Amino acid sequence: MLILKEKKHLLSKPTPLNNLNSFILHQCTMKLPPALALIRPFQWYKNLLVFLALVFVGDLFNPAHFIRTILGFISLCAVSSSYYIINDLVDIEADRAHPEKRSRPLASGRISKGLACIMSASLLLLSLALAYTLSLPFLAIVAVLFLGALLYSFALKQEPLIDVLTIGTFFVLRAISGPLILHISISPWLIICTFFMALFVALTKRRGDLVLGKKSAQSQRKVYSFYTLDILDHLILVFVAVLILSYAFYCFLTEHAALLITLPIAVYGLLRYYILARGHPEFARHPHFMFKDTKTVAALILWALLVLFIIYDARALHVLRWG
């Protein structure tokens, strides 16, 4: 059962956008102090991809590498928040007219433009400084992410297909930042999985926007005049199929072939997310809501535990294999 406190009935059927405002704002904005809401900490989960290399090369318990990856995560979160603030500054007037976004700290006037500019600049400098201490290639990744996010905000998000491909590229940059910080290599299949996972999530979000309010979505972004539910459904099915195949290839080709036993769990998690996103568009619009679904969280935890067991407990695997 999908657990969303106080407003569980919202998930019983697709809900018009304007009827969902109070819930989303209550969950994501109004409960947080204005300065904290402005930097959107609930979006930082995307930067956990920096740990991908650390986990899958079997280096998770290396203290030096773990600390470096933590610093990389902080750098990515800081640069992301810096961009979010700039985006809110640019869209402040549009947000004030938007039924959901009008309660954001800048649009509602709870944070001044001057303070927002200072916060954005400070976060960007912090991110760049941390990245510089870790590695120059990682510094380049951080700079590309920031500049690319600005380009996306001002132009690319209005271009059909290019918008979601750009989002996929951002996720890939986060994934390869881990190897660049630690000076190690990672399977290209994991990078491919990251790319198609991002496309899958981005397209389900587009679908949710259309279902909740097609006219509203089209008035906010002209790119939605291109997307239809039929087009999105076909693209989503293609990308989730490629994602599953990519993960299967990774499991088969890696030195940890026992990872194949995690494939059914991964498939279950993906399909459950897809079903929830189709049945409850507000779930698709806010992917972090998946952490409120007990079955999705259970599948994620079980998958993670199996991955850690297979990669890090070689002796236990030896016993399982030979009896």
Could you report the per-residue pLDDT of 79-95, keeping only the tens digit for each? 999 998 888 887 776 66
Instruction: State the pLDDT at residue 95.
Output: 65
Instruction: State the pLDDT at residue 157.
Output: 80
Could you report the per-residue pLDDT of 250-303, keeping only the tens digit for each? 999 988 888 999 999 999 999 998 888 888 777 777 777 777 888 889 999 999
pLDDT band at residue 139 under the 50/70/90 scheme? very high
Sequence spans of domains, the chain = 15-159, 187-323
- What residues form DSSP beta bridges with 293? 2
| Lowest model confidence (mean pLDDT) among 110-114, 136-140, 258-262 | 110-114
User: CA–CA separation, 28 vs 6, rounded Å?
Assistant: 14
What is the model's pTM? 0.80
CATH of domain 15-159: 1.10.357.140
Provide the token pair at 201.
């999530």
Instruction: State the pLDDT at residue 8.
Output: 44
Instruction: State the pLDDT at residue 97.
Output: 66
Could you report the per-residue pLDDT of 4-46, keeping only the tens digit for each? 443 444 444 444 433 444 444 444 445 678 778 888 888 888 8
- Quote the mean pLDDT of the chain: 81
b (16+ CB within 10 A) / e for 114-139: eebeebbeebbebbbebbeebbeebb
